[in-house]
Chains A and B, each alone.
Chain A
Amino acid sequence: MSVATIIEKCRADDRPALVGYLPVGFPSVEGSIAAMRVLVESGVDIVEIGVPYSDPVMDGPVIQDAAVRALAAGVHLTDIFTAAREVSAAGAGALVMTYWNPVLRYGVERFAADLAAAGGAGLITPDLIPDEAGAWIAAADAHDLDKVFLVAPSSTPERLAAVTAQCRGFVYATAVMGVTGARASVGEAADALVSRTREHTDLPVCVGLGVSTGDQAAEVGRFADGVIVGSALVRCLTEADSDEQGLEALGALARELADGVRRART
């Protein structure tokens, strides 16, 4: 099922969707799945299941650190299928976010088939632009999967048109020029980018990069169809003294963010 359906339901409640990112495999595969369940129980609508990768050029220090530790702990690509199954069963949308090489190595068509079979909704591809995505677009279409490509403040009108034309599910608008990580302010450039993106598509536009608090979620939620939070959630786990404490902090932040998106338009 496309995550667009979930975003539509949120829109019917007059609120943006809350999208929460966690990498699979940190602190362990089971631990990460437990954390994803906490996100869903705390009001996250769509879980972005991250594939830890050795060379994450779009990620800041928090997600890099979690990826390094997850890989050291022995996570494998196939663990995301388990996570997708669990997230989907918990009632949230299960989107996988991955750099391209792991999918290429696994086999694009085989990956799409296995992801669909696991109940995954589709892929967010931070280093795959539609121009290079012929094989993925074909496989995603064959298996009824979402294709979430990114747009950025630097995107020209031509790029916005070309990229959004290939998206399904939603369009991922990166709020700032830069890598993942919490920021003090995310507002203005994101607002402008969402407006510019809407000139080219009727798809939902979700905003990510930099959001870490309920107030920021409310602010971004005023103009975006969905608010994406990553590093701030991951940090709850990487900075915790114990797994239990990490889940507690994670739940508290997710509830704050869920509250933020619910007061975005009031």
Chain B
Amino acid sequence: MTTSQAPAHGRFGDFGGRYVPEALIPALEQLEEVWRKAVVDPEFVGELERLQRTYTGRPSIITEVPRFAEHCGGARVILKREDLNHTGSHKINNVLGQALLTKRMGKRRVIAETGAGQHGVATATAAALLGLECVVYMGRKDTERQALNVARMRLLGATVVPVDNGSKTLKDAVNEAFRDWVANVSTTHYVLGTVTGPHPFPEMVRDFHRVIGVEARQQVLDLVGRLPDAVLACVGGGSNAIGIFHRFIDDPSVRLIGFEAGGEGVATGKHAARFSAGIPGVLHGAFTYVMQDEDGQTVESHSVSAGLDYPSVGPEHAHLLDSGRAEYRPVSDDEAMEAFSLLSRTEGILPAIESAHALAGAMKVGRELGPDAVLLVNLSGRGDKDVHTAAEWFGLIADDGTPRLPDDAGAKGKGEQQ
């Protein structure tokens, strides 16, 4: 680990690196070379911008949400609407970039891991668009709680492989994707879905998402005439967060606040609050914060949100924490679901449960900063995929999936009590 002032290649301070089998090193070197050339090639840049404009629907708008903001201490709350992107989340930003790189590398097959299914759907979409074969690895538990997204990926022509190892969630899907990649690296590109993994993924995926913050900074300036006091985002692997944070890093007046899945509470051990309970270690190719036991075995994470249910986090976030530039807090399942319900009822916007963690964060931070504050929240995805989970949570459907109507005994779920 370097401790010098100039970080080593592929490091953010001490964090990052390339902890993978030697067999993958040539592919990572090729990827870095092709990527660095592409981003200064007007043809690549032009094609990506064209797809962002005509396919994704960029720039995504911002929406001020005054009725929701009444629950945030009266602070002004502005949402960056990544939920309005094609495929329903920020994930498409990264995937289009990597799919174009796949073609540049002469590879015909892409693989991906997915938790909530958003990255898998985005990858399947880009593969369909560009004529690539696509295989998506997804933990068995996640295929069950996100069955609709599994169907979406298959409708888009992708093969979805349920992973039965370990905790049957995102981390195990990543393991399986790495195993596939080692065996098929000459024909296959691994479209890693977040800002972790071996170098150059954390930096490359960040750069493909950086457009979020670039757009939002100008949009907020245009709307309120000044920078926001804080930028808020949920943090699983951390791609939507780094995407909106990065343009603000050199704006010292802007607080950067990430919200991790606190699950049933950090004290219960059933959470994904890596920065509260993890320590630095290596997982999935990067040196970063990892939830682990005394023997260095990964500890299983828990969250109502499949997309945040991951025991590690992108290395640049680890560096932003250690350097003091960003802060990270846990948000419990209960708090996130309350925010989910609140945004739906006050603004008519169903957020992804992942993004609801950032909204719950806004409720807390708004109350701390008061009515003069301006908060920019990354609404990283929409909640369509979460209707089933939310309906179960709020007691709107019975165990067998049939609707519970207000006459039914037990129909008064948590949502009805508010």
On A, residues with C-beta under 8 Å from B are: 53-58, 60, 64, 68, 71, 76-77, 100-106, 126-129, 131-132, 134-135, 149-156, 159, 163, 174, 177-179
CA distance A155 to B171 in the complex (A): 27
CA distance A149 to B178 in the complex (A): 19
- CB neighbours (8 Å) of B23 from chain A are 150, 152-155, 174, 177
Are A103 and B295 interface neighbours, CB within 8 A? Answer: no
CB distance from A72 to the nearest CB of B (A): 11
- CB neighbours (8 Å) of A64 from chain B are 165
The verdict on A178 contacting B295 (CB below 8 Å), with A149-B22, A156-B26 known, is: no
Are B282 and A57 interface neighbours, CB within 8 A? Answer: no
Are B18 and A132 interface neighbours, CB within 8 A? Answer: yes
Contact of A101 among B26, B183, B282 (CB under 8 A): B282
Are A127 and B166 interface neighbours, CB within 8 A? Answer: no
Are B292 and A132 interface neighbours, CB within 8 A? Answer: no
Are B19 and A127 interface neighbours, CB within 8 A? Answer: yes
CA distance A57 to B21 in the complex (A): 8
Contact of A55 among B22, B171, B184, B279 (CB under 8 A): B171
The verdict on A129 contacting B22 (CB below 8 Å), with A54-B166, A177-B183 known, is: yes
Are A135 and B1 interface neighbours, CB within 8 A? Answer: yes
Name 30 interchain pairs, CB-CB below 8 A, sorted by A: A54-B298, A55-B166, A55-B175, A57-B20, A57-B21, A57-B178, A57-B179, A58-B179, A64-B165, A68-B166, A100-B19, A101-B281, A101-B290, A102-B296, A102-B297, A106-B296, A127-B19, A129-B22, A132-B17, A134-B1, A152-B22, A154-B185, A154-B186, A155-B25, A156-B26, A159-B22, A163-B22, A177-B183, A177-B186, A178-B179
CA distance A87 to B360 in the complex (A): 56
- CB neighbours (8 Å) of B233 from chain A are none
For the A-B complex with A55-B166, A55-B298 known, give 11 more contacts whose Cβ atoms are closer than 8 Å.
A57-B21, A58-B182, A102-B295, A102-B296, A105-B281, A131-B18, A135-B1, A154-B186, A155-B26, A159-B22, A178-B179
Minimal Cβ-Cβ distance residue in A for B165: A64
How many chain B residues sit at the interface, stated as a range, is 35 or more
- CB neighbours (8 Å) of B186 from chain A are 154, 177
Are B22 and A53 interface neighbours, CB within 8 A? Answer: no
Are A129 and B18 interface neighbours, CB within 8 A? Answer: yes
Contact of A150 among B21, B171, B175, B185 (CB under 8 A): B21
Asked if B27 is at the interface (CB within 8 A of a chain A CB), the reply is: yes
CB distance from B79 to the nearest CB of A (A): 35
CA distance A77 to B297 in the complex (A): 10
Are B22 and A54 interface neighbours, CB within 8 A? Answer: no
- CB neighbours (8 Å) of A57 from chain B are 20-21, 175, 178-179, 182, 284
Task: Map CB proximity to A onto B45-86 as digits: 1 under 8 Å, 0 otherwise.
Answer: 000000000000000000000000000000000000000000
The verdict on A103 contacting B21 (CB below 8 Å), with A154-B27, A154-B186 known, is: no
CA distance A231 to B225 in the complex (A): 64
CA distance A93 to B22 in the complex (A): 24
Are B18 and A77 interface neighbours, CB within 8 A? Answer: no
Asked if B304 is at the interface (CB within 8 A of a chain A CB), the reply is: no
Within 8 A of A (CB), among B171-212: 171-172, 175, 178-179, 182-186
Contact of B284 among A55, A77, A104 (CB under 8 A): A55
Minimal Cβ-Cβ distance residue in B for A179: B179
CA distance A58 to B24 in the complex (A): 11
The verdict on A103 contacting B166 (CB below 8 Å), with A57-B21, A126-B21, A127-B21 known, is: no
Asked if B352 is at the interface (CB within 8 A of a chain A CB), the reply is: no
Are A178 and B183 interface neighbours, CB within 8 A? Answer: yes
- CB neighbours (8 Å) of A104 from chain B are 281-282, 296
Are B171 and A159 interface neighbours, CB within 8 A? Answer: no
Asked if B250 is at the interface (CB within 8 A of a chain A CB), the reply is: no
Minimal Cβ-Cβ distance residue in B for A156: B26
Contact of A56 among B20, B175, B290, B296 (CB under 8 A): B175
CA distance A57 to B282 in the complex (A): 12
Minimal Cβ-Cβ distance residue in A for B297: A54
**In this complex, which of A54, A152, A153, A154 has the most chain B Cβ atoms within 10 angstroms of its Cβ?**
A54
Are B297 and A100 interface neighbours, CB within 8 A? Answer: no
Asked if B294 is at the interface (CB within 8 A of a chain A CB), the reply is: yes
- CB neighbours (8 Å) of B31 from chain A are none
CA distance A106 to B282 in the complex (A): 13
Minimal Cβ-Cβ distance residue in B for A131: B18
Contact of A105 among B172, B175, B294 (CB under 8 A): B294
- CB neighbours (8 Å) of A155 from chain B are 22-23, 25-26
- CB neighbours (8 Å) of B26 from chain A are 154-156, 159
Asked if B283 is at the interface (CB within 8 A of a chain A CB), the reply is: yes
- CB neighbours (8 Å) of A177 from chain B are 23, 182-186
CA distance A131 to B28 in the complex (A): 14
CB distance from B299 to the nearest CB of A (A): 8
- CB neighbours (8 Å) of B178 from chain A are 57
CB distance from B282 to the nearest CB of A (A): 5
- CB neighbours (8 Å) of B22 from chain A are 129, 149-152, 155, 159, 163, 174
Closest 4 CB pairs of A and B: A105-B296, A152-B23, A102-B296, A178-B183
CB distance from A150 to the nearest CB of B (A): 5
- CB neighbours (8 Å) of B1 from chain A are 134-135
CB distance from A70 to the nearest CB of B (A): 11
Are B19 and A132 interface neighbours, CB within 8 A? Answer: yes
